[in-house]
Amino acid sequence: MGPDIQVTDVIAGPKRAFGDLIAASGITDEMLDSLIALKDFEGVDGLPPLSVIEDMRYERNTRKSSRGEMERLKQEEAAKARVKQVDDKGRAYGTGRRKCSVARVWVQPGNGKFIVNDKEFDVYFPMLDHRATLLRPFSETKTLGLWDVYCTVKGGGVSGQVGAIRLGISKALQNWEPELRPSLRNAGFLTRDSRVVERKKPGKAKARKSFQWVKR
């Protein structure tokens, strides 16, 4: 503040908010932090109670956290509240659905054995892309080769069955180890894909395609 401008002139000017007066007086956030730490605001007329000021500054600092970080912390707290769910054989169970396919999956610690409908998964799914999709939940949680998987799947085509099994694996993993839930959730492996084929409409060749129109 210059030597010609007095604090009384600023106060006597137009109506100002408390924050404007602080800015005009040259008080910085560091000075406010020091004042709050030393509780120098106690007993000063015209200011809210110290507890209110501390709450206001806590809320402002909390809002600085990104939404993603707050969501991650919330997921971690939810994961800690979950409990391990296994059957009498020491297996965790998960159900997955995709299009018309339904998969029932059991996982337990092992050496990486993967059985689908009583067949090795590389025999049941010969395409490399499908096998890589099924192993994504393990690679995302850095547990590849540490689980034995047994699943049954029925209905739908190959693509639908792959999606159903992957969802079932992810649910079974979180039931065995709740701390894996944030990683699986962030990767989108715990979200049910509800997309299905759109039905054919009357008067149209397919769901949206129309028949060729001829004027004459």
User: Is 175 within a domain?
Assistant: yes
Residue 7, pLDDT above cutoff 60: no
Mean pLDDT of 126-146: 94
User: Is 216 within a domain?
Assistant: no
Into how many domains does the chain fold?
A: 2
Residue 133, pLDDT above cutoff 90: yes
Average pLDDT along the chain: 82
- Let me know whether 112 and 181 are in one domain: yes
- Let me know whether 132 and 170 are in one domain: yes
User: Is 118 within a domain?
Assistant: yes
- Let me know whether 56 and 96 are in one domain: no
Instruction: Find the domain containing 47 and state its range.
Output: 7-63
- Let me know whether 100 and 173 are in one domain: yes
User: Is 157 within a domain?
Assistant: yes
Quote the Cα angle for 117-122-126, to 5°.
Answer: 105
Long-range contact pairs involving 26-29 (C-beta distance under 8 Å, separation at least 24) = 26/1
pLDDT at residue 182, as a whole number: 86
Share of the chain above pLDDT 90, in %: 56
User: Is 127 within a domain?
Assistant: yes
Instruction: Evaluate the CA torsion angle 45, 46, 48, 50 in order and state its sign.
Output: negative
pLDDT at residue 139, as a whole number: 93
Residue 28, pLDDT above cutoff 60: yes
User: Is 83 within a domain?
Assistant: no
Q: Which of 17-26, 36-45, 67-76, 195-204 has the highest mean pLDDT?
A: 195-204
- Let me know whether 117 and 56 are in one domain: no
Mean pLDDT of 128-145: 94
User: Is 213 within a domain?
Assistant: no
Share of the chain above pLDDT 70, in %: 69
Q: Are 106 and 150 in contact (CB under 8 A)?
A: yes
Whichever domain contains 121, its CATH number is 3.30.230.10
- Let me know whether 45 and 98 are in one domain: no
pLDDT at residue 72, as a whole number: 73
Written as one string, the DSSP assignment of 159-193 is: HHHHHHHHHHHHHHHHHH-GGGHHHHHHTTTTS--
- Let me know whether 96 and 57 are in one domain: no
Cα(80)–Cα(69) distance, rounded to whole angstroms?
A: 17
- Let me know whether 166 and 114 are in one domain: yes
Residue 164, pLDDT above cutoff 80: yes
- Let me know whether 59 and 96 are in one domain: no
CA neighbor of 104 nearest in space, from 161, 58, 157:
161
Query: For tokens 């590389």, what's the residue?
Result: 122
- In this prediction, residue 30 has a pLDDT band, given cuts at 50, 70 and 90, of low
pLDDT at residue 25, as a whole number: 65
User: pLDDT, tens digit, for every residue of 45-97?
Assistant: 566 666 676 677 666 665 655 676 777 777 777 767 778 889 999 999 999 99
User: Is 149 within a domain?
Assistant: yes
Q: Output the CA torsion 15→17→18→21 (10° steps).
A: -60
Does the predicted TM-score (pTM) go above 0.85? Answer: no
pLDDT at residue 110, as a whole number: 95
pLDDT at residue 45, as a whole number: 59
